């Protein structure tokens, strides 16, 4: 039996939580990753940015100034295909069609539900107990392409951070890669997105950045979780709650008493919630 073909696969990912696992997974399958296409993050972006030291030897990191340059970069590296997860910009048609077998994107929802940049945040906001993990062919529209592989993933009570959710999504997505790459290489058109009308999961709006303590406790708790999981917002800093006349950025809450005098009890419409982590803010 002849060995499986080895392909040149670019990774399109801007975060240190997503790019290295994708590179390692593709290489474990026997393929070459010549380049990671990252993105220049704003100066205000919190936390660690993807750097060359995050990637294994032999993998270049390129940070294009605009998405208009991505197609030329993919052609310059002569890649057969590309895989993407968590890239913060929609790629133009020139980039989408630059690899000869196309680009597969991982999206943490059961498409066409929750298209957009904040799918898990909205799933938590809506009280969902599970999400989908979908690999789809990338086209010129955001999260619109045909499905190559999909699975489900429960949302857990300990899902509190953007990083933790990404790790869990990748644990579901990476085992699907052999199917995804095989279908790309075969120029398989993929399957239509089904399951209902499309919905949009954009950045949270300004009204959702303020905590209304007169709402039910579980809604307040989910609001805080949703903002944590949504990660960086380019325009808003939330959620903010006023406690004893002072505004706080609330980072963590509990629906049960944490014990040992920890946390601050706040009464909601149907019972208390305990604020266990918050940062003081200047009055608005």
Output the pLDDT for position 201: 96
pLDDT for the residue numbered 44 = 61
Q: In what order do the strands lie in the sheet with 271-280?
A: 240-243, 246-254, 271-280, 264-268
Q: What is the pLDDT of residues 110-153, one digit of tens each?
A: 999 999 999 999 999 999 999 999 999 999 999 999 999 999 99
Residue closest to 130 by CA, chosen among 147, 116, 145, 113: 113
With H, G, I as helix, E, B as strand and everything else as coil, classify residue 11.
strand
Residue 37 has pLDDT above 70, yes or no: yes
Which pLDDT score is estimated for 283?
A: 57
Report the chain's mean pLDDT, rounded to a whole number: 93
Residue 73: per-residue pLDDT: 98
Instruction: State the pLDDT at residue 249.
Output: 95
- The stretch 73-80 carries a mean pLDDT of 98
Residue 177 predicted with pLDDT over 90: yes
Question: Residue 155 has which token pair?
Answer: 């949302």
- Is residue 218 predicted with pLDDT exceeding 60? yes
Please give the domain boundaries of the chain with CATH numbers for all domains.
9-185 (3.40.50.170), 206-280 (3.10.25.10)
CB crowding 33-70: b at 16 or more within 10 Å, else e? bebbbbbebeeebeeeebeeebbeeebebbebeebebb
Q: Place 2 in a pLDDT band, splitting at 50, 70 and 90.
A: very low
Q: Which residues make beta-bridge pairs with 12?
A: 37, 84
Q: What percent of the chain has pLDDT over 70?
A: 95
- Asked whether the beta carbons of 9 and 31 are under 8 A apart, the reply is yes
SS percent in the chain: helix, strand, coil, step 5: 25, 25, 50
Angle formed by the axes of helices 177-185 and 19-28, nearest 10°: 70
Q: What pLDDT does residue 1 have?
A: 41
Give residue-wise pLDDT tens across range 83-109: 999 998 999 999 999 999 999 999 999
Region 146-169 average pLDDT: 94
Cβ-based neighbours of 157, under 8 Å, separated by 6 or more: none
* pLDDT for residue 19 is more than 50: yes
Q: Are strands 240-243 and 147-154 parallel, antiparallel or unpaired?
A: unpaired
Question: Is the predicted pLDDT of residue 27 greater than 70, yes or no?
Answer: yes
The pLDDT tens digits of the residues spanning 250-265 come to 999 999 999 877 889 9
* 69-73: average pLDDT: 98
């Amino acid at each position: 039996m002849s060995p499986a073909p080895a392909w040149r696969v670019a990774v399109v990912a801007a975060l240190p939580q997503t790019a290295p696992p994708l590179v390692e997974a593709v290489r474990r399958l026997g393929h070459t990753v010549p380049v990671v296409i990252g993105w220049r993050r704003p100066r205000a972006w919190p936390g660690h940015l993807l750097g060359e030291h995050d990637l294994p030897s032999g993998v270049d990191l390129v940070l294009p100034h605009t998405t208009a340059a991505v197609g030329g970069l993919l052609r310059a590296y002569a890649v057969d295909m590309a895989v993407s997860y968590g890239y913060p910009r929609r790629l133009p048609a020139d980039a989408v069609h630059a690899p000869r077998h196309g680009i597969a994107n991982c999206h943490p929802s059961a498409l066409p539900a929750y298209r957009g940049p904040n799918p898990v945040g909205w799933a938590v906001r809506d009280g969902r107990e599970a999400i989908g993990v979908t690999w789809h062919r990338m086209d010129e529209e955001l999260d619109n392409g045909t499905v190559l592989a999909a699975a489900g993933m429960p949302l857990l009570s300990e899902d509190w951070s953007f990083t933790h959710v990404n790790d869990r999504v990748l644990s579901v997505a990476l085992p699907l890669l052999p199917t995804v790459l095989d279908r790309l290489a075969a120029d398989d058109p993929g399957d239509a997105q089904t399951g209902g009308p499309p919905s949009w999961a954009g950045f949270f709006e300004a009204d959702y950045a303020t905590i209304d303590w007169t709402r039910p406790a579980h809604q307040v708790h989910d609001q805080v979780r949703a903002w944590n999981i949504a990660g960086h917002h380019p325009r808003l800093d939330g959620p903010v709650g006023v406690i004893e006349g002072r505004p706080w950025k609330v980072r963590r809450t509990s629906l049960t008493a944490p014990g040992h005098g920890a946390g601050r009890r706040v009464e909601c419409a149907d019972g208390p919630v305990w604020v266990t982590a918050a940062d003081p803010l200047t009055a608005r």
